[in-house]
Amino acid sequence: MKSTFPLFPDSASALSHDVDALYAAWVLVSLFFTVLIAGLIIFFMARYRRRHPEEVGQKERAALWLEILWSVIPLGIMLVMFAWGTRVFFQLYRPPADAVEYTAIGKQWMWKVQHPDGQREINTLHMPLGQAIKLKLASEDVIHSFYVPAFRVKQDVVPGRYTSLWFRATKTGVYHLFCAEYCGTEHSRMIGSIIVMEPRDYENWLAGGTGGKSMVASGSDLFNSLACVTCHRASPGITQRGPSLEGVFGSQVKLADGRTVVADDNYVRESILNPTAKVVAGYDPVMPTFQGQITEEQLTQLISYVRSLGPTGAAPAGGSGGTPTAGTPAAGGASNTSSAQMDANSPLNTAGQTTGSAQKPPQK
Ligand code: CUA
C-alpha cells in the first residue's frame, strides 16, 4: 500500500493473483500485437513506398498458408483466453464448501454488514485472515455494487434478489470498500473498509462487541413473532396449512403447477414476499404476503433460520445444485445470553462503530 507509484491495488485475496495473471497476459498479448502491427505499418511504408511519380502498384496475392496462419493463430489465442478466463470466473463465483456466510445490505448510502453470530457493523467488515467468506448481498433501494479492489471482487447488489461473492483474505490490513454503481447523490461517499485480522484478534474483536443474537436465533424469533410457526410447524401426522420447513432448504420442491424448483435463498425470499408465486404441490395459496412488514435484514435472518432446519444447513453436503453451501452459522462462540436482539433499524454497535470510523482509510 506504500508504493510510490501504485499501478495496482494491494493484492490480498486467494484469487487476486489469478486475476492479475490473467490481466497481465492480456496486456502482454495486446502489447505484442500493437507493436507488431504498428511496426509492420511503418516498415512497409518505407519498404513499399512509391519511388517515382509514374509508378503504378501491382496486385499481390497472399499465399494461402499465410492466410491460414494469421487466422488460426489469433483463434488459438482467443480460445486460450476464453478457457483461462472461464476458469478464473468460476473460481471467483463458486464459494468453497468451507465458506462462512456473512450478509451485507446496501442502502442509500451505506453498507450494513452482519456477521453469522449476530455482530453488526456499518461500512466496515472485520474478518479473519485465511477464512473463506461468502457475502450474501441484498439492497434496500437501488442497485449498488460491492467492490473490494484488493480482493479483485466486484458484485452488483440488486434490489429484490440475492447475489453473492466470496473471498479469502491472505494478508492482514485495512482495504478499501467501494460502491461501484452510481446510486444517487452520495454514491461517492458510500465507501468503507474491510479489516482483515489474525483469527485470534478477530475472536477478541467479536468478544468485545455487544454481540446480539446469531442470525439463526434472530430468524427463529421472527419465525415465532411473525406467526410463521402456526402454519409451518413440523408435526408428524397432522397436515398443516403450510408445508413443514424441516429439511427443505437446498432440496427440490415440487410446485402445484408441476414445476420443480430448488429451495435456495431466492426461493425462500420470494415465498415470504410473494407467497402465491410458487405454491408447493398439495397446499392452497393461503399464505399472506410479508412484503412491507419485514426488512431486508430480517429476511436474511429468517432465511438463515430456514436453512438451519436443513438439510444443507445441518450437514454441509458438497455440491447439491448450484447453491453454494455455507457453513452453519448457528454455532460459534458468541452465545450471548444477556443482550437482547438489537433493533434492526439501529444496527450500530459501539465496537464496530468506533473501529470503523477510527480505521477508515483516507478518501481517494
Ligand atoms: Cu451505492 Cu453507489
Domain CATH for 300: 1.10.760.10
In ligand 1, the atom with minimum distance to the C-alpha of 108 is: 1
Determine, yes or no, domain membership for 39: no
Where does the pLDDT of residue 239 fall: very low under 50, low under 70, confident under 90, or very high at 90 and above? low
Q: Count other C-beta atoms under 10 Å from residue 91's C-beta.
A: 15
- Predicted confidence at residue 307, as pLDDT, reads 84
- pLDDT higher than threshold 60 for residue 314: no
User: Is 55 contained in some domain?
Assistant: no
pLDDT value, residue 329: 39
Selected residue with higher pLDDT from 133 and 364: 133
C-alpha 146 to ligand 1 mean position (Å): 8
What is the mean predicted confidence (pLDDT) over 214-229? Answer: 80
> Which ligand 1 atom is at minimum distance from the Cα of 184?
2
Ligand 1 closest atom vs CA 144: 1
- Grid coordinates 433493533 are at which residue? 343
Whether 349 has a pLDDT exceeding 80, the answer reads no
Confidence grade of residue 282 (pLDDT, cut at 50, 70, 90): confident
- What's the pLDDT score for residue 284? 82
Whether residue 90 is predicted with pLDDT greater than 80 in this model: the reply is yes
DSSP states of 96-137: -TTPEEEEEEEETTEEEEE-TTS-EEESEEEEETT-EEEEEE
Q: pLDDT value at position 32?
A: 94
Q: In this structure, what C-alpha cell is assigned to residue 59?
A: 496486385
pLDDT in the model for residue 359: 41
Closest-lying ligand 1 atom to the alpha carbon of residue 142: 1
- 144 in ligand 1 pocket by Cβ < 6 Å? yes
178 part of a folded domain: no
Cell of residue 256, nine digits: 402445484
Higher pLDDT, 57 or 184: 184
Is-above-0.85 flag for pTM? no
Q: How far apart are CA 75 and CA 81, in angstroms?
A: 10
Q: Is 80 exceeded by the pLDDT of residue 69?
A: yes
| 132 within domain boundaries | no
Asked if residue 179 has its Cβ within 6 Å of ligand 1, the reply is: yes
**For range 14-31, the mean pLDDT:** 92
How far away, in angstroms, is 145 Cα from ligand 1 center? 6
Computed over every residue of the chain, the mean pLDDT equals 80
Q: What residues have CB less than 8 Å from 337, skipping those under 6 apart? A: none
Within a domain: residue 163?
no
Residue 24, pLDDT > 80, answer: yes
Q: How many domains does the chain have?
A: 1
Q: Check pLDDT > 90 for residue 145.
A: yes
How many alpha carbons lie under 13 Å from residue 298 in its C-beta half-sphere? 20
Q: How far is the CA of 193 from the centre of ligand 1 (A)?
A: 15
Q: What's the pLDDT at 357?
A: 40
- pLDDT of 216 > 50? The answer is yes
Burial class (CB in 10 A: 0-12, 13-18, 19+), 311: middle
More confident residue, 211 or 179: 179
Residue 280, beta-bridge partner list: 255
Question: What pLDDT sits at residue 210?
Answer: 63
pLDDT of residue 273: 83
Q: For residue 243, what are the domain limits? A: 215-358
Q: How far is the CA of 188 from the centre of ligand 1 (A)?
A: 7
Domain assignment present for residue 307? The answer is: yes
Q: Mean of the pLDDT values across residues 278-293?
A: 82
Q: Does residue 6 have a cis bond before it (omega within 30 degrees)?
A: no
**For residue range 73-85, what is the model confidence (pLDDT) as tens digits?**
999 999 999 999 9
- C-alpha span between 154 and 147 (Å, rounded): 4
Phi, psi dihedrals of residue 295, rounded to the nearest 5°: -85, 165
The predicted structure's pLDDT at residue 153: 92
Comparing CA positions, the residue from 277, 304, 279 lying closest to residue 291 is 277
- Which ligand 1 atom is the nearest neighbour of the CA of 180? 2
160 in a domain, yes or no?
Answer: no
Instruction: Answer whether the bond into residue 109 is a cis peptide, omega within 30°.
Output: yes
Which amino acid residue places its CA nearest to atom 1 of ligand 1?
144
Question: Residues near 164 by Cβ (< 8 Å), separated by ≥ 6?
Answer: 95, 134, 135, 136, 137, 155, 324
pLDDT at residue 133 greater than cutoff 90? yes
Ligand 1 pocket, residue 197 CB under 6 Å: no
Share of the chain above pLDDT 70, in %: 81
What are the C-alpha distances in Å from 128 to residues 78, 356, 359?
38, 16, 16
In a domain, 345, yes or no: yes
The percent of residues in the chain predicted with pLDDT above 90, rounded, is: 37
Ligand 1 centroid from CA 289, angstroms: 29
Residue 209 has what pLDDT? 67
Whether residue 164 has pLDDT greater than 50:
yes
> 139 pLDDT exceeds 70?
yes
Average pLDDT over residues 214-225: 81
CA dihedral 308, 137, 174, 108 (to 10 degrees): -130
